[in-house]
Amino acid sequence: MKAVVHERYGPPEVQELREVARPEPAEDELLVRVRATTVNQTDCHRRAAKQVFWRFLEGFLRPKQQILGTEFAGEVEAVGSAVTGFRPGERVFGWGWNAAAHAEYLCVRESALVVHMPDGMPFEEAAAICDGAYQGLAALRVANVGAGTRLVVYGASGSLGTAAVQFARHLGAHVTAVCTAKDVELVLSLGADEVVDYLREDFTRNGQVYDVVVDAVGKYAYTKCRRSLRPGGIYVATDRLRNLFLRYWTRWFDSRTVVFQAEYPTRDDLLFYKSLIEAGEYRAVVDRTYPLEDVVEATRYVESWQKTGNVVLTVA
């Protein structure tokens, strides 16, 4: 089968499309023919490994996991002898840290994060559900966002941001979305109550006070928005090592708190995403689609930080 392999850390060009052995399912596994997957920021961090943190996870000298891709959608090709909930030909989507989805086939345990796709949903959209959804929902959960919460989503047009806006609307929060002018209409259509173009306006200078600020792109500083948070308010960080220090500092010495979005999805989460999609309350936003062989170009686009929603790879 064809798969995208990277044997060393480095720029997007270290990724190569190669022929590799097709995996064989164990008795409790599905063999999935991948029809679509994504390139996300997690893939980029793992491939580049610029920070020591990623070397701890992936291997110091070279990557242990040489095929990237955490989310996928496709068809069940075969099942192991102990599998009872899936049959060949069924359409599924899922997520896995080591799913190795940048390939024509992958194996996943029946008990892992894989569920049936919503009826009629294109593979390209189904592949883009999980990464943004689990991060967006985790960010809201750690801040106890609910009905009446006044929430800012900074970077509301990205994968995490578009998900957070939709989940916040479902939870009954008041959402102020911060993005660029080109994405205003999109973000409003996802359920934002107010949209701020950060190139023209600083939301911290509008005189409003918020309960929660979610930095959905890992580029905003707690110190910039602290005065826009009410006492007891929460800043949700998604990146930047300095926020680890601020997490403990604010816990002891500040009236506001820095917390990290840090949980992986569960099977129940995937079923929750599916139920909202079927109810018309959630959609995965797809910006661009590339064939698998154009993974380097797709990765460059993701790393430009100009994407809206998700970037998808289709697998012929």
The tens place of each residue's pLDDT in the chain, 316 residues long, gives 999 999 999 999 999 999 999 999 999 999 999 999 999 999 999 999 998 888 988 999 999 999 999 999 999 999 999 999 999 999 999 999 999 999 999 999 999 999 999 999 999 999 999 999 999 999 999 999 999 999 999 999 999 999 999 999 999 999 999 999 999 999 999 999 999 998 899 999 888 999 999 999 887 888 888 899 999 999 998 876 565 666 656 677 777 888 887 788 999 999 999 999 999 999 999 999 999 999 999 999 999 999 999 999 999 8
Residue 144 resides in a domain: yes
Question: What pLDDT shows up at residue 247?
Answer: 64
Residue 241's pLDDT is: 58
**Beta-carbon neighbour count of residue 274 at 10 Å?**
19
Please indicate, yes or no, whether residues 135 and 199 belong to a single structural domain of this protein: yes
Q: Based on the domain organization, do 24 and 143 belong to the same domain? A: no
Name the DSSP class of 255: S
303 in the same domain as 187: no
Considering its fold, how many domains does the chain have in total?
2
Q: Are residues 136 and 25 in the same domain?
A: no
Shared-domain flag, residues 169 and 255 = yes
Asked if residue 77 belongs to a domain, the reply is yes
Same domain, 135 and 254: yes
- pTM here is 0.93
Q: What angle do CA 231, 234, 237 make, to 5 degrees?
A: 145
For residue 47, is it within any domain?
Answer: yes
| pLDDT for the residue numbered 219 | 79
Q: Which domain holds residue 197?
A: 131-260
Residue 92 within any structural domain of the chain: yes
Query: Residue 308 falls within a domain, yes or no?
Result: yes
CATH number reported for the structural domain that contains residue 246 in this entry: 3.40.50.720
Are residue 120 and residue 154 in the same domain, yes or no? no
Closest by Cα among 130, 210, 120 to 174: 210
Tokens standing for residue 259? 């917390």
